[in-house]
Amino acid sequence: MNNAEPAPGRSRGRPRGNPPTRESIVTVARALFLERGYRATTLRAVAGAAGVDPALIAYHFGSKKGLFADVMQFQCANALAVDEVLGGDPATLPGRLIDAVTDLWEDADFRRLTAQGDEAAAVIREYLERELLARLVEFLGGRDATARATAVVTILGGLIYTRYLNPLATPASLTPAQARTVLTPALAAALAPRPRITAAPAPGRRG
């Protein structure tokens, strides 16, 4: 009779690996993307600078596109920490959302990363939709949570577009504090619960 315990099955999906190694690769990759740009940065160059085998990068990130996405998301997560933004006083949430966005985009290195083609734009869209929008829906709750969260992300997306990606003179000339003052009322209105509208009864017919 064989009393040996069966070997544990391998889990599917991308292996987690060693967090310090993964973080060090992201740090090195970020520096190379800033120095050389997305197209000129190779996985072999990142591996050499990080002192790891190129196969380890493929193991953790899948491809250069996956590595770049992690670099961008790491930067977003550091500046736009959703848990911290949502965890404070609800009354000051609009200001915290605006501050988080402007803090992220006022960073010159981050703006250089965002200028590196479609890959950067795709990561930003994914972060706004999966992280910010989805978390806002969960945070707000209720029947109109999706509509309210969509309104918030639309306002913040407009701020990003008109101030950083395709600057218009007036929004771009505002300081971050002025942008917060201008947009806080709109965000507060977007976050407010929608009143439930009751349909009026149809007028009765005369006999």
Q: Which uninterrupted H or E stretch holds 195?
A: none
User: Which tokens go with 22?
Assistant: 């993964």
The mean predicted confidence, pLDDT, of the chain is 81
Position 127 scores a pLDDT of 79
Residues contacting 25, CB < 8 A, separation 6+: 46, 50, 52, 56, 57, 60, 61, 67
How far CA 113 is from CA of 161, 165, 197, in Å, comes to 15, 12, 45
Position 87 scores a pLDDT of 85
What DSSP designation does 174 have? Answer: S
Q: What is the pLDDT of residues 109-166, one digit of tens each?
A: 888 888 777 777 777 887 788 778 888 999 999 889 999 999 999 999 999 989 988 8
Q: pLDDT grade, residue 5 (50/70/90)?
A: very low
Average pLDDT of the segment spanning 18-47: 84
Position 203 scores a pLDDT of 62
pTM over 0.75: no
Round to whole Å and give the CA distance between 14 and 91: 40
